[in-house]
Amino acid sequence: MTINQVMVIGAGQMGAGIAQVFAQAGLNVKMNDMSQDALDQGLAGIEKRLKRAVEKGKMTEEDQKAAYGRLETTTNLKDASDCDLVVEAVVENMDVKVSVFQQLDEITPSHAILATNTSSLPITEIAAATKRPDQVIGMHFMNPVPVMKLVEIIRAIQTSDETYQAIEDMTKQLEKTPVEVEDFPGFVSNRILMPMINEAIYTVHEGVASPEDVDAVMKLGMNHPMGPLTLADFIGLDTCLYIMEVLHEGFGDSKYRPCPLLRKYVKAGWLGKKSGRGFYTYD
């Protein structure tokens, strides 16, 4: 299958990053969002990152202009009617994602592959909401998308080998490294990462050590580039809580129980870097 036209749904940090890497790889990209302001901000972020790549010598000015020229924005989902691939990167909520996929199922050509960037929700359930479950797949990019090389490709139980192969090939075209993952809660990345972050929060909750010292142990002792609590703030504590809840519900195991301190911070609106306060304070 040849993929030429792509739509990315969601112009936030993840969606804009995904749109950027597709455009850099030579594909025509429609970036969709309900909000024109979000689209404008997403496009401005892409332009800034591309210009920075030129300044650092990682890209020529000609390539930068060509990549930016392959991008267009739209608030109308019906503009997916000529797309070969749609990558959804909206809020991590099953009802919202199912609604988007049901609409795409009616709008897109019969050959189109529908991918979701979900970090934890079951692909099988999303696929079952469409009339083309064999053409639905998970394509979980890492943040920040233009920098991180990994893409988890998650097969729903219905996903065909042809669909998987097309997305694996596309991932390599994006100069990313694909890893095949079966459809289990949290996949690989968040099944391992989030319990570690949750345990780091427990050590603060129980008074074992301060956030700064917990992060220092993991950076200096385990050679992690970023401490788990700094990373949690970067991801968003509400997102961390949501994924822990998905793991807890999906496996029914108490080891995935979200730390009460995590719940308390989220209720306080202390969501991390995006809200100005989490385990650390941000300007």
| 154-177 per-position pLDDT tens digit | 999 999 999 999 999 999 999 999
Residue 218 annotated in ligand binding:
no
What is the rounded CA–CA span in Å between residue 79 and residue 82? Answer: 7
Q: Does residue 214 fall inside a structural domain? A: yes
Residue 110 annotated in ligand binding:
no
In this prediction, residues 96-120 reach a mean pLDDT of 97
Q: pLDDT value at position 283?
A: 85
Whether 150 and 57 map to the same domain: the answer is yes
Q: Does residue 127 fall inside a structural domain? A: yes
Of 153, 182, 211, the one marking the end of a domain is 182
Active site residues: 119, 140, 152, 190
Q: Does residue 283 fall inside a structural domain? A: no
Residue 24 annotated in ligand binding:
no
Residue 274 annotated in ligand binding:
yes
Whether 198 and 169 map to the same domain: the answer is no
Phi and psi at residue 59, to the nearest 5°: -155, 145
Q: Which residues contact 65 (CB under 8 A, 6 or more apart)?
A: none
Model confidence, pTM: 0.92
In this prediction, residues 136-152 reach a mean pLDDT of 96
Q: Does residue 270 fall inside a structural domain? A: yes
Is the separation of the CB atoms in 166 and 113 below 8 Å?
Answer: yes
Please tell me the total count of domains within the chain: 2
Whether 106 and 211 map to the same domain: the answer is no
Q: Does residue 146 fall inside a structural domain? A: yes
Whether 173 and 208 map to the same domain: the answer is no
**DSSP strand pairing (136-141 vs 113-116):** parallel
CATH for 109? 3.40.50.720
Q: Does residue 261 fall inside a structural domain? A: yes
Of 147, 182, 217, the one marking the end of a domain is 182
Tokens standing for residue 43: 């496009």
- What pLDDT digit, counting tens, does each position of 72-102 carry? 999 999 999 999 999 999 998 999 999 999 9
Domain that residue 256 falls in? 190-275
Q: Does residue 281 fall inside a structural domain? A: no
- Tell me the CB-side half-sphere exposure of residue 70, using CA atoms within 13 A: 22
In this prediction, residues 133-145 reach a mean pLDDT of 96
